[in-house]
Amino acid sequence: MFFSFFWIWGTFEWKSIDSNSIDSFFRGLVGACGISVLCNLIRVYNFIEKCSDSETKTESKPSLFSLGNLLRGNWIKVLQFWFLTVLLSLVGSRVSSLIVLEFSLRAISAWASAGLDARYRGLDLLLTQCQFSLGCALTCTLHFLHQGAPHSSLSLFLAAALSWALASACHSLWSHVATLYPLHSRAGYCGKCSTLLASGHTLLASVQRAVVFAFAIASVASTSTVHDHFLSQKDALKFWTPLTLCYTMLVVYIQADQQRQTGAEALLHTVVLRLGALLVLMLTVGHWSDVLHVLFSFLGEAVCLLPSQDLLKAALQGEEDMRGAPVTKQRNAMNRSSDR
């Protein structure tokens, strides 16, 4: 009943933003499939790395990915998937474009602050944080590419079908790895597990390249959408320039604050700051529907991050290991010099 109310309301009231509710649904479905693919591939990579660490260490730490917790409650993941589909369908292209540009700016700031020597530092954490932003990137890209297309519904249906097939394949791969990889990796008679055993360590880099490519295309689409809806008016640059500078300073502050504080609470605090600033921005220059779309984005970020506690824990543990690695190397060097 809740979804039906918003769906009917969106069909009649937001026609100026999303002219076809069927196209909006297909775009939301593609975005939810992209989020599902991202999460499943990261889980596969983390599980493989944990299994390889437990084989090389005599005293292995307890795994963060309990098999019972992962395979239990698939209905929750299904509910999360369809809830994200509805939310991404309701969020308009204007707000989606701003979310994409904000995350791109934040990712560039994180890369610049990490430095060249720490190119893999915080990669898991950044990929985990980009879930809803990735969904918005896919939806706003599809909206930009299908503007004025005569058969947009058919094209979006094909894109949704391909995305569904890819998401189903990644979910099947994750289920197979979570149940059978420890056995098959030792036996060596499973093609999937043998391939992951040989080249699974490159999976995260492949996911990173795909996400960067998706955001690069979405940034072009988002820039065009923001220009058409916000910057095309007379004297708009005089108003948007100070707002952009203030928002950039806020993103840099959030990035520095996140480096000082670690944990899931800090990530949720970051989400509240980011979307709160976007809400204030929409209250200043947007429409009432944009404000409502930002509130939907709050729900979308919560739906993405709250069920991803296993990914957040693995990313934060990897961050701590990265920070502790130089200290360990320095201690080993001091011990070697003292022995000499």
Q: Which of 58-72, 151-165, 219-233 is predicted with the least confidence, judged by mean pLDDT?
A: 58-72
Q: For 54-110, what is each residue's pLDDT tens digit?
A: 665 544 444 444 454 555 557 788 889 999 999 999 998 888 988 998 888 878 877
92 domain residue, yes or no: yes
Q: For 267-278, what is each residue's pLDDT tens digit?
A: 777 777 777 778
Domain count, the chain: 1
64 domain residue, yes or no: yes
Which pLDDT does position 290 carry in this prediction? 83
Residue entry with tokens 């069920």: 307
Higher pLDDT, 59 or 199: 199
Which pLDDT does position 61 carry in this prediction? 43
2 confidence band (pLDDT: 50, 70, 90):
very low
* Domain around 115: 19-330
Higher pLDDT, 277 or 163: 163
For CA atoms 88, 89, 91, 94, give the dihedral sign: positive
CA distance 77 to 45: 19
Which pLDDT does position 63 carry in this prediction? 46
> Could you tell me the two tokens for 140?
């706003």
Arithmetic mean of pLDDT, 27-35: 95
Q: Which of 28-42, 170-184, 195-209, 241-255 is predicted with the least confidence, judged by mean pLDDT?
A: 241-255
4 domain residue, yes or no: no
281 domain residue, yes or no: yes
11 domain residue, yes or no: no
14 domain residue, yes or no: no
Please check the confidence at residue 166 and state whether its pLDDT lies above 90: yes
301 domain residue, yes or no: yes
93 domain residue, yes or no: yes
Query: Model-level pTM?
Result: 0.81
| DSSP H helical ranges for the chain | 2-13, 21-56, 67-71, 74-90, 93-114, 123-129, 131-145, 152-187, 191-199, 203-226, 236-260, 264-285, 288-305, 309-339
